[in-house]
C-alpha cells in the first residue's frame, strides 16, 4: 500500500501546499503588492511626515453635533461659520506647525476655506508643513446579540469618497473602531473584535488604493472597573487581530499609522497604579504585537486630562529602550475642552487671542511628552483607585 501522505493518497491536494491558484492569488496582494512603486513611495512619504519625532496630530474631526454640544456648553452658537472660524484658529495658530505633523478634519472642514489666505483648509495646512487628513467613517451601529458591542459603518462607498478627499488635498484618512471592556458581561466579544479589526483592514486597503495613508484606530474606552493587567490582555488581543487582518488583506504596512487608546485601568478600577506602571503596560502591548513596519503610534486622549495624557506619554518615551516606534499624540478633547472653556461668559464670542495662546501651550506640552521631556507634577498620570469598590486584584 502507498505510504501515508504519499502523492497517491493526497492527489487532490496541491503539492507543494502553496502551489494552488487560490493560495497564489491570496499572496499576490501581500503587503500592497498591487500598488505601484510610485503609490508606495507617496504613502511612505506621507507616513514618515506624520511620524516626525516631537510632532503630533491635532484631531479636529468631530461632526457638527459633537462640536455643537461643546459650543453650547460654553455659550457659543452652533453654526457652520462658527465651526469654520474656530477651526481656522486651530490650523493657523502661530507656531502650531512647530508641534504638529498632521490635522484630522471633519468632512465639512475639508471643503471650507481660510479667510486669511482664501485657500481651502487642506492646501493651507500643507503650506504650513501640516499633513491634512479626514475622517471618512459614518455612524456607529450596535451589533445585535453582543450586549452592546458596536461596529462603525461607511465601507460601502468609501473608495469613491476617498477619491474626492484626495482630490480636495487630503493625504490620510482615519477610521475609529470603539470597544469597551466589561469583564462581567464578557465584552468585548470575540465577534466584535474580529468584525471591527477586519473593517479597519478593509478601510486601510481601500484608502491606500486611493493614495491616502490609513490611520487605524482601535479605541478601547476608559469606562469600566477592569485592572491594568486586564487592559493589557484585551489590548493585545485587539491589536494582534488588527495586524493579522491588515496583513491578510494585503495592506502596505509601511504606509500606515496606528492611533490607539493608551492602555489604562478602567476609570472606576479600585486598584491604584503609578504613571510608570501605566507607561510600562503600554510598552508591553507594543512589544508583544506592534509590527516594526509601522513607524508611529499616535495615542488618543480618550477622556484623559491633558496633564494625565502628557505624563503617561512622556513616561513611555522616557522608559523606551530599543523600541523602534515613534510614540506621539493625536488629541482632541484633552487639548480643546480647556481652550473652549475660555468662551464662558464672553457673550457668545470667541476670545481668539487667549484661545490661541492656550492651544499652542497645550500643543507644546504634547510635543514635550512625545520627546520624553514633559516633567509631570506629583500624581499626574497615575490612576487613583476608587474607594468603596472591591479591589479585583486582591479578591
Positions marked active-site: 217, 259
Q: Where are the beta strands (DSSP E) in the chain?
A: 56-60, 100-105, 131-134, 140-142, 150-152, 172-179, 213-220, 257-258, 296-299, 326-331
Please state, in angstroms and rounded to a whole number, the distance separating the CA atoms of residues 252 and 244: 13
| Cell numbers that stand for 370 in this block | 512625545
First vs last Cα of the chain: how many Å apart?
A: 61
* Lookup: cell for 89: 484658529
CA dist 269 and 265 (Å) reads: 6
3-state secondary structure 220-263: ECCCCCCCHHHHHHHHHHHHHHHHHHHHHHCCCHHHCEECCECC
The alpha carbon of residue 269 and the mean position of all alpha carbons in its chain are separated, in whole angstroms, by: 24
Long-range contacts of 2-6 (CB under 8 A, 24+ apart): none
Q: Please state, in angstroms and rounded to a whole number, the distance separating the CA atoms of residues 286 and 280.
A: 10
- Measured between alpha carbons, how far is 295 from 326 in angstroms, rounded to an integer? 6
> What are φ and ψ of residue 383, in 5° steps?
-110, 120
∠ CA 25-6-22, nearest 5°, is 10
CA dist 275 → 272, 376, 383 (Å):
10, 10, 7
> Angle at the Cα of 178 (from 109 to 313), degrees rounded to 5?
80
Q: What are the DSSP calls for 274-337, one per residue?
A: -HHHHHHHHHHHHHHH--TTS-EEEEB-TT--HHHHHHHHHHHHHH-SS--SEEEEEESHHHHH
* Virtual torsion, Cα 332, 334, 337, 342, nearest 10 deg: -120
DSSP 8-state code for residue 67: H
Cα(366)–Cα(187) distance, rounded to whole angstroms? 32
Contact between 385 and 271 under an 8 Å Cβ cutoff? The reply is: yes
Amino acid at each position: 500500500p502507498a505510504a501515508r501522505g504519499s502523492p497517491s493518497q493526497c492527489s487532490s491536494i496541491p503539492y507543494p501546499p502553496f502551489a494552488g491558484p487560490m493560495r497564489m492569488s491570496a499572496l499576490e496582494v501581500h503587503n500592497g503588492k498591487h500598488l505601484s512603486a510610485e503609490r508606495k513611495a507617496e504613502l511612505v512619504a506621507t507616513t514618515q511626515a506624520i511620524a516626525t519625532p516631537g510632532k503630533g496630530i491635532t484631531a479636529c474631526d468631530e461632526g457638527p453635533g459633537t462640536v455643537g454640544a461643546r459650543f453650547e456648553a460654553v455659550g457659543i452658537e452652533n453654526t457652520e461659520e462658527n465651526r469654520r472660524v474656530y477651526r481656522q484658529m486651530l490650523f493657523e495658530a502661530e507656531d502650531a506647525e512647530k508641534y504638529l505633523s498632521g490635522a484630522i478634519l471633519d468632512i465639512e472642514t475639508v471643503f471650507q476655506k481660510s479667510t486669511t489666505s482664501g485657500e481651502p483648509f487642506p492646501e493651507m495646512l500643507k503650506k504650513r508643513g501640516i499633513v491634512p487628513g479626514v475622517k471618512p467613517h459614518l455612524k456607529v451601529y450596535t451589533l445585535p446579540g453582543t450586549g452592546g458591542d458596536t461596529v462603525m459603518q461607511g465601507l460601502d462607498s468609501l473608495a469613491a469618497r476617498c477619491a474626492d478627499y484626495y482630490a480636495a488635498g487630503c493625504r490620510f484618512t482615519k477610521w475609529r473602531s470603539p470597544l469597551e471592556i466589561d469583564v462581567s458581561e464578557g465584552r468585548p466579544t470575540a465577534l466584535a473584535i474580529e468584525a471591527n479589526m477586519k473593517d479597519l483592514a478593509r478601510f486601510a486597503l481601500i484608502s491606500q488604493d486611493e493614495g491616502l495613508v490609513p490611520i487605524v484606530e482601535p479605541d478601547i474606552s476608559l469606562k469600566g472597573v477592569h485592572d491594568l493587567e486586564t487592559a493589557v490582555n484585551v489590548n493585545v488581543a485587539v491589536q494582534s487581530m488588527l495586524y493579522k487582518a491588515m496583513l491578510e488583506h494585503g495592506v502596505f504596512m509601511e504606509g500606515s499609522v496606528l492611533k490607539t487608546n493608551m492602555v489604562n485601568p478602567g476609570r472606576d478600577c479600585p486598584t491604584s497604579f503609578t504613571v510608570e506602571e501605566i507607561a510600562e503596560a503600554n510598552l508591553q502591548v507594543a512589544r508583544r504585537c506592534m509590527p516594526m513596519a509601522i513607524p508611529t503610534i499616535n495615542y488618543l486622549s480618550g477622556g484623559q486630562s491633558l496633564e494625565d495624557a502628557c505624563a503617561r506619554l512622556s513616561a513611555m518615551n522616557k522608559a523606551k529602550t530599543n523600541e523602534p516606534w515613534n510614540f506621539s499624540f493625536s488629541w482632541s478633547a484633552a487639548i480643546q475642552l480647556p481652550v473652549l472653556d475660555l468662551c464662558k461668559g464672553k457673550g457668545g464670542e470667541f476670545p481668539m487671542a487667549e484661545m490661541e495662546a492656550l492651544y499652542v501651550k497645550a500643543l507644546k506640552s504634547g510635543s514635550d511628552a512625545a520627546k520624553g521631556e514633559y516633567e509631570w507634577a506629583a500624581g499626574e498620570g497615575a490612576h487613583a483607585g476608587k474607594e468603596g469598590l472591591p479591589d479585583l486584584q486582591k479578591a
